[in-house]
């Protein structure tokens, strides 16, 4: 097979790939848009400021047991920043980050909720 035919086949395959990728993207992108609530902050005059648009994502509520065995829900901490960490005792990187979480907890325990969920 000569070089010209190989080049034509390669270009045709590349164009086909691009066309299929574009069709797949446009078809599937509408199905996978995140569910977000966009809220504009209001200035003192009541006019919205587009430069201060905030996107909020609400986590699903769930219940876990705290270190004392008491049931705690994620929604119990509404209004406070929450660091939610899912970890496992067999996971070396998870174990390595625990001293850092302890340090942050000691420094910010009254300002931030740390939820450490052991899988």
pLDDT in tens, 2-49: 888 889 998 999 899 898 888 888 887 777 666 554 444 444 445 444
| Angle at CA of residue 33, ends 61 and 36, nearest 5° | 45
Q: Tell whether the model's pLDDT for residue 57 goes beyond 50.
A: yes
pLDDT at 35: 55
Q: What is the pTM of this model?
A: 0.46
pLDDT, residue 119, reads 76
- Is residue 89 a contact partner of residue 118, using CB atoms and an 8 Å limit? yes
Confidence of residue 99 (pLDDT cuts 50, 70, 90): very high
Q: Return the pLDDT at 70.
A: 92
**Total residues belonging to the chain:** 119
What are the tokens at 78? 């509404």
């Amino acid at each position: 097979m000569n070089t010209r035919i190989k080049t034509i086949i390669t270009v045709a395959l590349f164009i086909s790939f691009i066309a299929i990728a574009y069709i797949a993207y446009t078809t599937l992108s509408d199905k996978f848009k995140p569910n977000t609530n966009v809220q504009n902050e209001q200035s003192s005059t009541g006019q919205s400021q587009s430069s201060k648009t905030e996107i909020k994502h609400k986590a699903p509520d769930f219940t876990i047991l705290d270190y004392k065995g008491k049931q705690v829900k994620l929604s119990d901490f509404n209004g406070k920043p929450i660091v939610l960490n899912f970890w496992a005792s067999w996971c070396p990187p998870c174990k390595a980050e625990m001293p850092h979480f302890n340090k942050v907890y000691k420094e910010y325990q009254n300002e931030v909720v740390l939820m450490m969920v052991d899988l």
